[in-house]
Amino acid sequence: MPRDPGYETLRLLADRLDVAIAIVRHSVEAEVGFAVDYVNPAWARLTGLEQGPLENALNLGASSCTALAEIAAALSRRQPWSRELLFARPDGGEIWVEAQLLEPQRESSEWAVVLRDLSDSRSEQARRDLDREKLSVTLSSIGEGVITTDVHGAVDFVNREGERLIGRRLESVRGRPLKEIFRLLDAEEKTENPLPLERVFRSGQAVGPLADRLLVTAEGIERKVNFLLSPILDGRGRITGCVLVFSDITNQVRLERELQKNQRMESIALLSGGIAHDFNNILTGILGNISLARNRCEQGDQLFSILKSAEKAAMRARDLTQQLLTFSKGGVPVKTRTSLHDLIRESSGFILSGSNCRCQLNVPADLWAVEVDEGQIAQVINNLLINATQAMKKGGRIEIRAENTELGAEPSIPLEPGFYVKIVVADNGPGIPPENLARIFDPYFTTKKTGSGLGLATSYSIVKNHDGHILVDSTPDVGTTFVFYLPALPSGAVQVEEPDQKLYHGKGRILLMDDEKMIRQIAGDMLTHLGYEVAFAADGEEAVRLFEEAEQAGNPYDVLIADLTVPGGLGACGVVERLKPRYPHLRSIVTSGYTNNPVLLNPAQYGFTGTIQKPYTIQQISWVIRSVTVPKSTARSGN
């Protein structure tokens, strides 16, 4: 064919290019469809085909490699064309190329087939695809929600945890405005508090983390969330979208509140325990004097009746201090293995008898055994039922349920994993206002005109002292539900004997040690009235000295009564530790106005023969002395 004068110049230029070029025309000299007039060196290097083999391959059509077959088909259509193809080389290698057909110029019938090597860009794209896949797997595996948007704030990605938290699938939210599917409320005022998306796009700075918002899910559930909103930047630092990272902290906040409440209760409990201890010492003087005076009156005298009434009032004051001790953890439970089935039925029957509230009991007979102080747990149930009946003055329904349950690592319940009995007391009364709910277990907090504010605080402490936990949930105009858990433990029972109300006289010498002068005086008067000879010690060192002197003089004491604690001095345990090894016959009674010490629950373990709780009456102290000085069979017969 005749050549344009600049043909050789263009050919020399094409020979130097890295782009593969082949000049192809439709053949008219032979039956074959195409003739290849030229291929540059880059074509041969890229495809592995020289001019002749390329012509043969193009004319083979569908039987040649797929890429060349598509190029041949495009040539047959005689239209400009472009496509990315996977080119199979004769040596078995494969490369990605961008193929183009450039149409002939002027009267020429020659088409230029141009191939560009895409290997590098394809490798980079494959790497990006792999990175994107890794990122997608990572985001789907993390425990936080992740949502990304484009530069207009439209959602383009939500990970698995994000779908769970917002209650929507990615397919249903892709392309929608982020603000529309991530609706926030102020945690305190419950007013709309939208995401600060515009601020992020405007400033290019992250916002957060923030934790004072409630996320409203598609189902209308409110979740307390912590979130961080950050811009997404490209390689040039331009904003291309934003990423929202958020997590559900509802249970975390609930647990933190429980821990704060526990700390607050611990502080108040410490104060309450000290007050109760001191008040019990004062009551010992009051109650002791009253009981002593009453026993010196004839039973028919008017003064006898007055003193008996005063004694009952003092006993009620003692019950109040016992509640304070229980609240302060000083009321250590005396546990026995028992059935909550019977305890719940008896308590509910007693409290609700005669009330206008209907009780629905669901307490199975196969409840696990629990080791509890029956009196204290009955007090918890009574307090909850009394609160429910007082809240529903016009009547209502109270439901009591109990069930066996196994707790795992519950984030909202601060209990060790294990087996528990769960007790639920629910009513359909007016409910508790939200502003009061957080303070419901605080001591002295009450909305009743005649309430002491100790009922629920005491219940809280009792359950906690049993290694359990109590929760409350309430909705205004719907009702209130209390739930408490008690551990089900297969430990043995602890049996405690209770004194009777008889007055036992006796003879012998008693050494009384107490740092309170008032108690030494009234206890001494009661013991003298009972027929004993009494000596006094103000602290443990004096008690040890007097006891040893009496032993050496051959005039020993029959009983030692010692106060558990002496501020800055030797208490009852120290005295017994000093005396018991040398005088194994020692009969000792430990006494205290505070019961937070295991000595009072297991006196024999610490070398004591008996124990008595302050405040006490003359009848009680007479019984305790008799129980440690007279054989049990004789004491029970009353001889």
User: pLDDT tens digit string along 259-282?
Assistant: 777 677 677 666 766 677 777 778
Confidence at residue 510, expressed as pLDDT on a 0 to 100 scale: 96
pLDDT over 70 at 508, yes or no: yes
pLDDT digits (tens, 9 = 90+) for 152-208: 888 888 888 888 888 888 888 888 888 888 888 887 777 777 888 888 888 888 887
Cβ neighbours of residue 70 closer than 8 Å, sequence gap 6 or more: 83, 85, 99
Q: Across 84-93, 173-182, 448-457, 560-569, which has the greatest mean pLDDT?
A: 560-569
- Report the pLDDT averaged over residues 497-508: 71
Q: Residue 353: its pLDDT value, please? A: 67
Listed residue (164, 129, 277) closest to 596, CA to CA:
277
Which residues, at least 6 apart from 96, have a Cβ–Cβ distance to it below 8 Å? 84, 85, 86, 87, 117, 118, 119, 122
pLDDT above 70 covers what percent of the chain? 81
- The percent of residues above 90 in pLDDT, for the chain, comes to 15
pTM of this structure: 0.44
- The alpha-helical segments, DSSP class H, found in 17-79 are 41-47, 51-60, 66-77
Higher pLDDT, 73 or 411: 73
**What is the model's pLDDT at position 371?**
86
Dig out the tokens for 318 from the structure. 């003692």
What angle (nearest 5°) sits at the alpha carbon of residue 606, between those of residues 604 and 611?
55
> Tokens 């007097």 belong to which residue?
546
591 in Cβ contact with 564 (< 8 Å): yes
Mean pLDDT, residues 387-402 taken together: 85
Separation CA 172–CA 464 (nearest Å): 47
Question: How is 70-114 classified by DSSP, letter by letter?
Answer: HHHHHHHHTS-EEEEEEEE-TTS-EEEEEEEEEPPPTT--EEEEE
Domain 509-637 has CATH 3.30.70.240: no
Strands 588-592 and 559-563: parallel
* Predicted local confidence at residue 66, as pLDDT: 78
Q: What is the mean pLDDT of the chain?
A: 80
For the ranges 123-127, 181-185, 196-200, 308-312, the lowest mean pLDDT is seen at: 123-127
Q: Assess whether pLDDT exceeds 80 at residue 359.
A: yes
**Closest CA relative to residue 287, chosen from 593, 638, 595:** 593
Mean pLDDT of 359-386: 85
639 pLDDT more than 60: no
Q: How many CB atoms lie within 10 A of CB 535?
A: 16
pLDDT at 443 over 80: no
Residue keyed to tokens 């010196």: 296
pLDDT of 255 higher than 50: yes
User: What per-residue confidence (pLDDT) applies to 327?
Assistant: 56
- To which residue do tokens 């994000």 refer? 162
Cα–Cα distance, 512 to 403 (Å, whole number): 50
Q: Is residue 253 a contact partner of residue 224, using CB atoms and an 8 Å limit?
A: yes
Rounded-to-10 torsion of CA 27, 29, 35, 40 = -130
Predicted pLDDT of residue 253: 79
Whether pLDDT at 134 is above 90: no
The CATH T-level fold of domain 137-248 is: Beta-Lactamase (3.30.450)
Q: What is the dihedral of CA 289, 292, 298, 302, to 10 degrees?
A: 20
Residue 1 pLDDT exceeds 60: no
Q: Write down the pLDDT at residue 498.
A: 44
Give mean pLDDT, residues 355-370: 84
The model's pLDDT over 577-607, given as tens digits with 9 standing for 90+, comes to 999 999 999 999 999 876 556 787 778 889 9
Cis peptide before 53 (omega within 30 of 0): no
Query: Residue 556's pLDDT is what?
Result: 93
Give the model's confidence band at 323: pLDDT under 50 very low, under 70 low, under 90 confident, else very high. low
In CATH, the number for domain 336-487 is 3.30.565.10
The answer to whether 7-122 and 336-487 have equal CATH topology is no
Q: Assign 3-state DSSP to the chain and report helix, strand, coil percentages, each to 5.
A: 40, 25, 35
Say if residue 537's pLDDT is above 90. Answer: yes
Does the pLDDT value for residue 484 go beyond 90?
Answer: yes
Angle, helix 340-352 to helix 374-391, in steps of 10 degrees: 40
Q: What is the pLDDT of residue 107?
A: 66
* CATH superfamily of this structure's domain 7-122: PAS domain (3.30.450.20)
Domain boundaries, the chain: 7-122, 137-248, 256-327, 336-487, 509-637
pLDDT at 637 (0 to 100)? 47
H or E element that contains 319: helix 302-327
With beta carbons less than 8 A apart as the criterion, state whether 372 and 420 touch.
no
Which of 376, 360, 584 is CA-nearest to residue 484? Answer: 376
- Among candidate residues 630, 631, 612, the one with its CA nearest the CA of residue 288: 612
